[in-house]
C-alpha cells in the first residue's frame, strides 16, 4: 500500500514515521520531498585502485565539501545528503525518485530504496548532466514514496549506515 498525504500526516503525528526537520513543503499528495543538505562528497579522479573490503586512504578517492551551493560538473558523480533525518518503522519502505525538474536538466540518480527500519540522513548518488548545474542547500531534490509492507519485515535494517548523519561515504568493511 502506498501512503498518501493523509496517511503520511497520520504516521508523522503518531511518530510511526519520524522526519526532522519538516516544513509545509515536505508532504505532497503521494509522498514527501526532501531537501539538499550542506555537504557533498566528490569522487577524485585517480589511477589508484580502490580495494573493496580493504582499508583505503579515503582522501585519495573522495573529497568532502561543505557549503550552501554546489556545482555538479558535466557527467560528474557525487554524493549528496538530505537536510532531513528519517526514521522508518519495520513495516515501511521508501522508493526514492529525483524531482522531475532536475531530471529534465539531465541530472540522474540510480534506483534507490530506503529499507524498513532505517534511520538517518539519506545519502544519494547523483550523476551530472551534459552541462554544469548549480544545486543549492534547502532545494527540494528527491521525492520519497512510502510503501507499507503487509507485515513487519523479519529483519529490519540494522546495517552499517544506520543512524548516519550528513553525507556518508562507502563503508567497505564486511562487504563479503
129 vs 72: CA distance, rounded Å? 8
Q: Is 125 a catalytic residue?
A: yes
User: Do residues 95 and 138 touch, judged by C-beta distance below 8 A?
Assistant: no
Check 119, 125, 137, 154 and give the catalytic one.
125
Q: How far apart are CA 5 and CA 11, in angstroms?
A: 10
**Half-sphere exposure of residue 146: CA atoms within 13 angstroms, side-chain side:** 32
Residue 85's nearest CA partner among 136, 159, 26, 154 is 26
Q: Is the dihedral of CA 97, 118, 167, 22 positive or negative?
A: positive
Count of CB atoms situated within 10 Å of the CB of 85: 20
Catalytic residue ranges: 125
Amino acid at each position: 500500500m502506498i501512503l498518501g498525504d493523509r496517511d503520511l500526516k497520520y504516521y508523522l503525528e503518531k511518530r510511526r514515521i519520524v522526519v526532522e526537520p519538516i516544513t509545509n513543503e515536505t508532504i505532497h499528495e503521494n509522498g514527501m520531498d526532501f531537501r539538499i543538505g550542506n555537504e557533498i562528497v566528490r569522487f577524485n579522479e585517480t589511477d589508484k585502485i580502490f580495494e573493496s573490503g580493504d582499508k583505503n586512504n579515503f582522501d585519495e578517492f573522495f573529497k568532502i565539501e561543505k557549503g550552501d551551493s554546489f556545482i555538479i560538473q558535466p557527467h560528474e558523480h557525487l554524493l549528496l545528503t538530505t537536510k532531513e533525518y528519517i526514521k522508518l518503522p519495520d513495516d515501511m519502505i521508501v522508493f526514492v525518485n529525483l524531482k522531475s525538474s532536475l531530471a529534465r536538466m539531465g541530472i540522474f540518480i540510480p534506483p534507490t530504496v530506503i529499507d524498513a527500519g532505517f534511520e538517518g540522513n539519506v545519502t544519494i548518488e547523483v550523476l551530472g548532466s551534459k552541462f554544469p548545474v548549480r544545486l543549492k542547500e534547502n532545494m527540494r531534490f528527491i521525492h520519497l514514496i512510502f510503501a507499507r509492507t503487509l507485515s513487519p519485515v523479519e529483519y529490519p535494517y540494522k546495517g552499517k549506515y544506520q543512524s548516519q548523519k550528513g553525507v556518508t561515504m562507502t563503508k567497505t568493511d564486511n562487504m563479503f
